[in-house]
Structure 1
């Protein structure tokens, strides 16, 4: 078997995995924890729309919308003029249609019609394929996959020098997505996990049946992800942030909205309390996850980033 570049392997494996549409049994994302998450993002998007001058042809877009839970919650707060999903999986599109039947679907950002865009993306960039490089004795090598094992081959990809044994990951699709969004003047809120600044190191991991797995062992049956390089995004396009997820959600009113819901639905109070803790606690998702906005330089400080 010819060695396959790791990012190509990761792209194939994740495409097969998400095409099945059964990822929710392997992990739980923030929108699945509490409706408040999506409601806050809907309120955020509405304020951004107002800051843009409330254009009538604005599109509210979600990339990687999962089962459509986030968007369904967001639309309770802001009934956006038009709703779009960037999603290629037929199985997931069917689930999204049940929650947001008026949505329009696209395989990529490129097929969105012209017009102003406010985009939401939660745990989207981390699933895009990364190239992985290892510093060998003679220079940088690129990781490939052959017969279920890693193979390191010479590369002419330009990277800063580093000590032997160092690992560097480059997410070219994530940077391309952000550049295309910026080029059309869109505003995109990305919430994902990774370090605040660019860092060297290996972060690829796989989750299968709710447990960590070998990324190479079950292609198409496990979710393969890597930390998002927020520093690289900042270097590529104009951004606000990143900020830690707990600071972002707290600024948007997570605690206040959750308290109101708990008072209205006492039977759900404990679940709401646990969800808020998981979203904000430093040892849970609060510090590991970050929020960053790709936006035009002309926009003032946006909610959660001012």
Structure 2
């Protein structure tokens, strides 16, 4: 799933290619992708993109008083194309969910555009066409952006205060902090040397400070690694930069211990017992506790 660093890189990539360019056509291909119907995506035709924003994991392509907003979910992706066929794609069972054409030379533009695709049978890719980003429920409920200057250590500590939830879940909760998912929460906790099942309200001031520093550093470094890359290279860059997530059975790059995994019904987390849990493995079951 694309998380804050990849979506920020996509925002930068699209800002350079969309801003100042006019929309020729927008065509939803998969019925499931469109989450709003008024205004219709066709209302973007003839409008010029003025900016591209990011809200957590949401991409926001602004065209005057309309916003085309995309959430790539678990298996969605944006594929930029310097040229697109004129004929509209046929709806079917393939991965294509939506296509957007930019105005071509005959209209004073450069052409090109992008496809939104989604692999697999579980369709969660979401597209919204709205006048105000706050009309999108997922954006309206977002917590603060962790890379915003206003996200201070004091703000972070306040978010954790009194929380009886495990820190892994809180980092992934978009209403608490925007943009962090399964992969980067693993990376942040490894960098902070904290157990994923540490209860937030039981953390010391030193642990909170270490977690804040790890969060900001991990995300900033990931953004910098991704900056300037073409959209098609962001997935591989993310995987290359991860130290523990997705690396079950490999040596921890810090201590050399074997990276372990806890599996859930629809996801898994990875961690280093030596670095994060005092050498004690976590039980690999849904309601995991430290093994006695």
Q: Above 0.5 in TM-score? A: no
How high is the TM-score relative to the length of structure 2?
0.25
Q: Which has the larger radius of gyration?
A: 2
Pick the structure with more helix per residue. 1
Q: Which has the higher contact order (CA 8 A, sep 6+)?
A: 1
Q: Taking structure 1 as the reference length, what is the TM-score of the superposition?
A: 0.24
